[in-house]
């Protein structure tokens, strides 16, 4: 989507600049649209987008008009603005972005996009807005909203340590910064240090007994607190993300039948997404930190490593050594690719890290060129920036 979207992407040179003051001023200039919405604010290291999708779908199934703001976009920038599970049409998205862009002063691209989303949802008559943090929580642009209906914390791990701190406790302090004057639901899929931190706060844990009954790339069924639910998304972590949504929906007085309907309708591209084409199997996964690779690694253990090819890319602020360590021994071949992003890690560094753990490592010019050279079970992973190219290439061969 060209035009204003490209102009906004260039704001502040694409650099991050944390704090809520600029976004608050921009929201006020737009008539304080956040004040007309019941906001559900989501922070965490992994599972934020999935939790947002589950919660949004349960609200929509209950007949509540809901806008959902997530980042970054995976297939198209219009994904960031969805209403009742459907992306806002391009013309409307552009109109609202232009309005926010015209009112912005010294804002970053994410700040303008955040304000535009809330303005769009208010203008479109949404009752609820499900809003995913960009990074951290306390100083994230999304935390500029004045009041919230509910805060949600998904799984937390070490990430962006230069910004959020080098310990889990420091990172928790940033994530918990979204809990302001509202109840909070916290995922039970956490390291012990994270559980200990949140036990000191007045939160609700999604910690009822959870048992996965059936699991595969087409989805899974599970028991949560003795109740059975079905979801379309693969990977054991998704059951925990869904459990958070269940607790959130119950706090919001959503009927149980709407919760089940909403969960079963939820789906996001690039999360252990499976395709079969031309006699090959393809798995596309946006995992980009060590903890997020655990569900992918669990699925790959079902394959003969010699028949698995990885196509791996990484952004410069990611822990590439730990990420690749999670995949070691699970593939016989790997292609190193440089993501199409200004934040991409240097290709020589990506290749060097791949070669350390996978002797049959090669450099590919792009995801598409690597896919052309791969067969068997082919896995594209390491960054959401790889997903769009991979899905586009694969879908042409279905």
C-alpha span between 115 and 103 (Å, rounded): 10
pLDDT over 60 at 120, yes or no? yes
In this structure, the answer to whether residues 106 and 232 fall within a common structural domain is yes
Q: 278 and 181 in one domain?
A: no
If asked whether residues 116 and 61 sit together in one domain, one would say yes
Could you tell me the CATH number of the domain that includes residue 30?
Answer: 3.40.1190.10
Instruction: Identify the pLDDT of residue 68.
Output: 97
Q: Do 57 and 24 belong together in one domain?
A: yes
How many Cα atoms within 13 Å fall on the side-chain side of residue 27?
Answer: 24
Q: What percent of the chain has pLDDT over 70?
A: 95
pLDDT at 1: 43
Same structural domain, 362 and 248: no
**Do 254 and 350 belong together in one domain?**
no
13 pLDDT higher than 80: no
What does pLDDT average to over the chain?
A: 93
Judge if pTM exceeds 0.85.
yes
Same structural domain, 304 and 363: yes
Cα separation, 250 vs 331, in Å, equals 42
Residues 220 and 291 in one domain: no
Q: Which domain holds residue 292?
A: 273-395
**Predicted confidence band at 9 (pLDDT cuts at 50, 70, 90)?**
low
pLDDT at 198 over 50: yes
Domain boundary among 210, 245, 265: 265
Q: How confident is the model at residue 7 (pLDDT cuts 50, 70, 90)?
A: low
CATH number at residue 308: 3.90.190.20
* Position 36 pLDDT exceeds 90: yes
132 lies in the same domain as 238: yes
d(CA 325, CA 224): 32
Q: Is 133:171 a contact under the CB 8 Å cutoff?
A: no
The three-state (H, E, C) secondary structure of the chain, written as one string: CCCHHHHHHCHHHHCCCCCCHHHHHHHHHCCCHHHHCEEEEEECCECHHHHHHHHHHHHHHCCCCEEEECCCCCCCHHHHEEECCEECCHHHHHHHHHHHHHHCCCCCHHHHHHHHHHHHHHHCCCCEEEEECCCCCCCCHHHHCCCCCEEEECECCCCCHHHHCCCHHHHHHHHHHHCCCCCEEEECCCCHHHHHHHHCCCCEEECCCEEEEEEECCEEEEEECCEEEEECCCCHHHHHHHHHHHHHHHHCCCCHHHHHHHHHHCCCCCCCEEEEECCEEEEECCCCCHHHHHHHHHHHCCCCHHHEEEEECCECCCCHHHHHHCCCCCCCEEEECCCCCCCECCHHHHHHHHHHHCCCEEECCCHHHHHHCCCCEEEEECCHHHHHHHHHHHHCCC
Same domain, 258 and 291: no
Whole-number pLDDT of residue 15: 63
What is the count of structural domains for the chain? 2
Domain shared by 280 and 240, yes or no: no
pLDDT tens digits for range 220-267: 999 999 999 999 999 999 999 999 999 999 999 999 999 999 999 999
- The angle at the Cα of 346, spanning 344 to 350, to the nearest 5 degrees, equals 100
Percent of the chain with pLDDT over 90: 83
Domain closes at, from 242, 265, 288:
265
Cα–Cα distance, 194 to 274 (Å, whole number): 32
How much is the pLDDT for 228? 98
Last residue of one domain, picked from the residues 249, 265, 281: 265
**Same domain? 185 vs 58:** yes
- Identify whether the C-beta of residue 150 lies closer than 8 Å to the C-beta of residue 65: no
């Amino acid at each position: 989507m060209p035009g204003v979207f490209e102009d906004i992407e260039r704001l502040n040179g694409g650099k991050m600049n944390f704090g809520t003051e600029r976004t608050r001023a921009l929201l006020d200039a737009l008539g304080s649209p956040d004040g007309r919405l019941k906001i559900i604010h989501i922070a965490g290291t992994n599972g934020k987008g999935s939790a947002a999708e589950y919660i949004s779908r349960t609200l929509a199934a209950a007949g509540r008009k809901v806008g959902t703001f997530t980042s970054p976009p995976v297939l198209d920038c219009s994904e960031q603005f969805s209403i009742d599970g459907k992306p806002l049409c391009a013309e409307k998205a552009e109109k609202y972005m232009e309005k926010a862009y015209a009112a912005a002063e010294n804002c970053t691209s994410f700040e303008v996009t955040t304000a535009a989303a809330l303005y769009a949802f208010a203008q479109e008559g949404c009752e609820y807005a499900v809003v995913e943090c960009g990074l951290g929580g306390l100083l994230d642009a999304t935390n500029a909203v004045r009041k919230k209906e509910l805060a949600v914390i998904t799984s937390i791990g070490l990430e962006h340590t230069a910004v959020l701190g080098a310990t889990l406790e420091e990172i928790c302090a940033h994530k918990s910064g979204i809990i302001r004057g509202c109840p909070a639901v916290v995922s039970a899929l956490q390291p012990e240090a994270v559980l200990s931190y949140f036990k000191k706060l007045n939160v609700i844990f999604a910690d009822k007994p959870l048992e996965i009954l059936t699991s595969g790339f087409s989805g899974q069924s599970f028991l949560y607190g003795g109740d059975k639910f079905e979801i379309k998304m693969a990977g054991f972590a998704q059951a925990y993300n869904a459990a958070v949504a269940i607790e959130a929906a119950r706090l919001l007085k959503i009927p149980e039948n709407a919760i089940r309907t909403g969960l079963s309708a939820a789906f996001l591209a690039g999360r252990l997404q499976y395709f079969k084409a031309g006699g090959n199997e393809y798995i596309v996964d946006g995992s980009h930190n060590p903890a997020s690779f655990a569900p992918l690694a669990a699925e790959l253990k079902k394959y003969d490593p010699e028949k698995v090819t990885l196509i791996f890319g990484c952004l410069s602020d990611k822990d590439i050594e730990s990420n690749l360590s999670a995949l070691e021994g699970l593939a016989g071949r790997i292609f190193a690719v440089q993501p199409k992003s200004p934040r991409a890690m240097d290709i020589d560094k990506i290749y060097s890290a791949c070669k350390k753990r996978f002797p049959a490592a090669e450099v590919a010019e792009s995801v598409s060129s690597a896919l052309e050279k791969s067969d068997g079970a082919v896995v594209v992973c390491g960054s959401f920036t790889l997903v769009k190219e991979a899905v586009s290439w694969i879908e042409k061969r279905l």
